[in-house]
């Protein structure tokens, strides 16, 4: 079994892991890559002249090429390693935003954004008088593209938007969104945290300006992320952090920055986990992302039908699997999502319950929270049936009259 954790039991039941939008499980190959680094060639990178440092540097920098190829990028130097999607977005916020956003400028984003793609821009609204404009949704939970076009104008300097919603599963038409934004001269930043693990990507085809994603949502370790950016933009941007590899020379009264990507990679990198990310990418490429997407789409059709057929269950988001991921937010009657999650946990089923770091979307949907089941390559139709049975169990538990003393 490539995923050892899936062999364990929870509360005496077979583990059914359906919390993949939060983080995915790791194949044995990824786990072994981390162990191998620490056991065989643990060393700092770039500056060492001994054999271990050379081996570590080659392995680390090799991942840059691997990731570049994975997302259809020809220039590995435009791949910057971060701690995750959140840090990647914050890097753009500070290094690009500080220089380019002025009072009265506008930022267009969607109501379905994760907090990580809202809060950095709220700072500019508060401190600099930048105006945030939110694109709302169609009744089905898709981005209202007609409204989006109306929001675009000469004052819009940035469009920052999720590729795939972590609540609704909606896959946004990023290529079209980017083309429309470029017509008014806006820069486009895409939060790809939920999309990269599930769909084949080509940055040249999408044509956005920045793209951010995380390792841990695509079979890799936590604490590693990627920011891809256009070379001309990255070269104009100032560093985000200072010290270590981001420096070329330091004098008493000034310093010179390193070339990209190292200009944005201050301090000692998360070497072992970057190397393991490369192994995760290799694992996905061996399966082929087209196959990943096709498998999840087929699984999603079954899951969507199964959930919608359950009495009292409301599923949010697109009603078909067209331009939709295998991620399903739902509520069960008037049972709170946390209570649903608790009952499901007792049945060995791991889901997420809450606002999913998308409180503006919850407010827009007029719900306090949802339960969320999200699927990945190791999930099966049997898992979907287990989920359905556990939801029925939750309904039975909460339909019993309370004991009166």
Q: Would you call 208 a catalytic residue per the annotation?
A: no
CATH 3.90.1150.10, applies to 288-397: yes
Per-residue pLDDT of 228-275, as tens digits, reads 999 999 999 999 899 888 888 989 999 899 899 999 999 999 999 999
- What is the mean predicted confidence (pLDDT) over 283-305? 98
Beta strand 255-257 pairing with 247-250: antiparallel
- Tracing tokens 């105006």 back to the chain, one arrives at 131
Could you tell me the pTM of the whole model?
Answer: 0.97
- What is the mean predicted confidence (pLDDT) over 115-132? 97
Residue 267 is predicted with a pLDDT of: 92
Tokens linked to 285: 């490429």
Within 83-179, strands assigned E span: 106-110, 131-135, 156-162
Of the residues 184, 255, 302, 357, which is catalytic?
357
Query: What's the CATH code, domain 29-286?
Result: 3.40.640.10
Bridge partner residues of 213 (DSSP): 226
Q: Where along the chain do the CATH 3.90.1150.10 domains lie?
A: 288-397
E strand or H helix that includes residue 82: strand 79-82
| Half-sphere exposure in the Cβ direction for 175 (13 Å, CA) | 7
Tokens linked to 314: 């409301």
Q: Where along the chain do the CATH 3.40.640.10 domains lie?
A: 29-286
Per-residue pLDDT of 15-74, as tens digits, reads 999 999 999 999 999 999 999 999 999 999 998 899 999 999 999 999 999 999 999 999
């Amino acid at each position: 079994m490539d995923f050892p954790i899936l062999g364990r039991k929870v509360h005496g039941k077979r583990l059914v892991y359906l919390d993949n939008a939060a983080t995915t499980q790791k194949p044995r190959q990824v786990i072994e890559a981390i162990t191998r680094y620490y056991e065989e060639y643990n060393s700092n990178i770039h500056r060492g002249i001994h054999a271990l440092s050379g081996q570590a540097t080659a392995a680390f920098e090799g991942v840059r090429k691997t990731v570049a190829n994975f997302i259809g990028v020809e220039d590995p130097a435009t791949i910057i390693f971060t701690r995750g999607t959140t840090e990647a977005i914050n890097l753009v916020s500070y290094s690009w935003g500080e220089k380019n956003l002025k009072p009265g400028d506008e930022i267009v984003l969607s109501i379905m954004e994760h907090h990580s793609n809202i809060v950095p821009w709220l700072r500019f609204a508060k401190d600099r008088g930048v105006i945030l404009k939110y694109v709302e949704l169609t009744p089905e939970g898709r981005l209202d593209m007609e409204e989006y076009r109306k929001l675009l104008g000469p004052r819009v300097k940035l469009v920052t938007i999720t590729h795939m919603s972590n609540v609704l599963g909606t896959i946004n038409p990023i290529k079209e969104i980017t083309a429309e934004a470029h017509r008014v001269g806006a820069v486009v930043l895409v939060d790809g945290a939920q999309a990269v693990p599930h769909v084949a990507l080509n940055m040249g085809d999408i044509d956005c300006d920045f793209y951010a994603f995380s390792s841990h949502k695509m079979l890799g370790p936590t604490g590693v992320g990627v920011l891809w950016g256009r070379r001309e933009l990255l070269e104009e941007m100032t560093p985000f952090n200072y010290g270590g590899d981001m420096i070329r020379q330091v004098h008493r009264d000034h310093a010179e920055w390193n070339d990209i990507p190292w200009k944005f990679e201050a301090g000692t990198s998360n070497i072992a986990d970057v190397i393991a990310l490369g192994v995760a990418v290799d694992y996905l490429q061996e399966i082929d992302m087209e196959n990943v997407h096709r498998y999840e789409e087929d699984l999603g059709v079954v899951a969507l039908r199964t959930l919608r057929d359950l009495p009292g269950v409301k599923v949010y988001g697109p009603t078909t699997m067209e331009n939709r991921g295998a991620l399903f937010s739902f509520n069960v009657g008037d049972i709170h999502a946390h209570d649903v999650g608790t009952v499901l946990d007792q049945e060995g089923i791991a889901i997420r319950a809450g606002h999913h770091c998308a409180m503006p979307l919850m407010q827009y949907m007029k719900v306090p929270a949802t339960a969320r089941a999200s699927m990945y390559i190791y999930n099966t139709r049997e898992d979907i049936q287990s989920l359905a049975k556990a939801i029925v169990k939750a309904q039975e538990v909460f339909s019993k009259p309370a004991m009166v003393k």
